[in-house]
Amino acid sequence: MLIKVTQGIGTGPTKLAAFDAALNHAGVANYNLLRLSSVIPPNAEIITSDHPIGDLPGDWGDRLYVVMAEMRVDTPNAEAWAGIGWVQDKATGKGLFVEHEGNSKKTVEEDIRQSLQALMATRNVNFGEIHMKVAGRICKHEPVCALVVAVYQASDWNNKAKLVS
């Protein structure tokens, strides 16, 4: 299984419009997003990009299974930061994602580290090195949204899964 992690930054006249612009920037705007809890299945390969996810399977309105962090702000000079972190066992590929949002990059990164350490401790596992992708923007005049999304797979409404490639 391939899981793609990317980011989106958006601006708009409302927080919702900024969120939609961020989804579009990430390449996932035309799907119905279904948020997952943060378990990475065995044999998963995670790839990251700063660019929109292209060549996603599925069509307009299909379901897209994701782990997502998103932060929206509309106060001038306020910051919006979002991030996803993960740990993954090198031998099996299984692992954990966490998602955090906040008003500073430092806070989001520290929350990701602390959460992943706690999740591994709860499960009595050590999946090794912590990885993360964090994105942010300062609100100037219009509302902004920062998001990071991990895309698992798409599915149409007839329950036909379409794997990310």
Question: With contact defined as beta carbons under 8 Å apart, do 148 and 83 qualify?
Answer: yes
Nearest to 140 by CA among 15, 11, 23: 11
List 37, 43, 124, 159, catalytic entry: 37
37 labelled catalytic: yes
Q: Select which of 32, 45, 110, 126 is catalytic.
A: 32
Active site residue 104: no
User: Is residue 32 among the annotated active site residues?
Assistant: yes
Q: Which residues on adjacent β-strands are paired with residue 86? A: 97, 131
Respond yes or no: is residue 38 known to be catalytic: yes
Rounded Cα–Cα distance for residues 21 and 43 (Å): 32
To the nearest 10°, report the CA torsion of 31, 33, 38, 39. Answer: -50
Active site residue: 70, 79, 99, 101, which one? 99
Indicate the residue type of 22. Answer: A
Known catalytic residues? 32, 37-38, 99
